[in-house]
């Protein structure tokens, strides 16, 4: 690896339900003089994927369940929002005032099941759920980009998650295609010849976090980042679920 670049693709318009996200990205990349290559990685924020897939929910249309009302009493959150969170929840992990941590039905643990108000739209009652299947979203986007440009870069769908015992959110991969997400370095030598025994690297999460530095979290408006110069292991039968630690090895729940 010599030159590694993270370049935001400019001038991608506000994404709306039903938009051809692959076409929007291909057009914007072409206009910016960025010809996609097979060994590139595209990091795409979950927000634009969810918007294109119409994962919007208007809270005015939501009737909270008894469980959502009970959780509202503990958290102080809108019971309609909590009902939407429960739709995507496999298990409620922790609850306190202003906070609910859940295991999403996709397997990862995060706040609010990824349901979000920010950068969704002007209406106060509009929230956005995560894609129903982020891996499938990444596969479709990669195939569409190949159809339009002739190149099939790896694709990572990223989201911002908090972390236990550390302040601040960071980008993580919740869906991917074309790239092996975890590097297994066991058996590799270190600088002094010692063979690593336990080291695995959350490679896709590292890429997602680095791209998040470019994307920003507020009004930057850069939802897609082109990563070029990164050496990675291609993979066709891959999933972000490969990043998740099995429950029997989880020492903290």
Domain spans of the chain, in order of start = 5-55+130-244, 57-127
pLDDT the model gives residue 14: 92
pLDDT at 16: 95
pLDDT for 189 equals: 66
Superfamily for domain range 5-55+130-244: CofE-like (3.30.1330.100)
- What's the confidence (pLDDT) of residue 127? 95
**pLDDT of amino acid 62:** 97
218-230, pLDDT tens digit by residue?
555 799 999 999 9
Residue 111 pLDDT: 93
* The pLDDT value given to residue 41: 98
For strands 154-163 and 41-45, give the pairing.
parallel
> Which regions of 3-84 does DSSP assign to beta strands (E)?
5-8, 41-45, 56-58
- Which pLDDT value is given to residue 248? 84
Neighbours of 146 (CB within 10 A): 16
Per-residue pLDDT at 199:
62
Domain 57-127 in CATH 3.90.1660.10? The answer is: yes
**Torsion-angle region of residue 216: left (phi > 0), alpha (psi -120 to 50) or beta?**
left
CA-CA-CA-CA torsion sign (194, 251, 131, 236): positive
Tokens representing 81?
């929002």
- Radius of gyration from C-alpha coordinates of the chain: 19
Sign of the Cα torsion 152, 237, 135, 160 reads: negative
Which residue is it, tokens 């891959």? 238
Give the residue ranges of the chain where pLDDT is below 70.
1-2, 119, 121-123, 185-199, 217-220
Confidence (pLDDT) at 131: 97
* Cβ contact 51:16 at 8 Å: yes
């Amino acid at each position: 690896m010599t030159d590694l670049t993270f370049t935001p693709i400019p001038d991608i318009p506000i994404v709306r339900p039903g938009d051809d996200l692959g076409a929007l990205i291909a057009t914007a990349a072409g206009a910016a003089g960025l010809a996609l290559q097979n060994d590139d990685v595209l990091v795409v924020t979950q927000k634009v994927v969810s918007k294109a897939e119409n994962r919007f929910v208007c809270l005015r249309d939501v009737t909270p369940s008894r469980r959502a009302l009970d959780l509202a009493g503990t958290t102080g959150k809108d019971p309609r929002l909590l009902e939407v969170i429960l739709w995507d929840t496999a298990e409620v992990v922790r609850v306190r005032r202003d906070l609910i941590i859940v295991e999403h039905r996709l397997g990862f643990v995060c706040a609010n099941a990824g349901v979000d108000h920010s950068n969704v739209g002007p209406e106060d009652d509009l929230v956005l759920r995560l894609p129903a299947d982020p891996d499938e979203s990444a596969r479709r986007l990669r195939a569409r980009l190949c159809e339009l440009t002739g190149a099939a870069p790896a694709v990572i769908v990223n989201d911002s998650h908090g972390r236990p015992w550390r302040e601040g959110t960071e980008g993580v991969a919740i869906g991917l295609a074309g790239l092996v997400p975890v590097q297994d370095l066991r058996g590799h030598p270190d600088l002094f010849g010692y063979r690593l025994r336990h080291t695995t690297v959350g490679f896709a999460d590292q890429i997602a976090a680095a791209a998040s530095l470019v994307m920003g979290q507020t009004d930057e408006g850069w939802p897609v980042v082109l990563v070029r110069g990164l050496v990675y292991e291609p993979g066709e039968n891959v999933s972000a679920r490969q990043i998740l630690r099995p429950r029997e090895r989880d020492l903290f729940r």
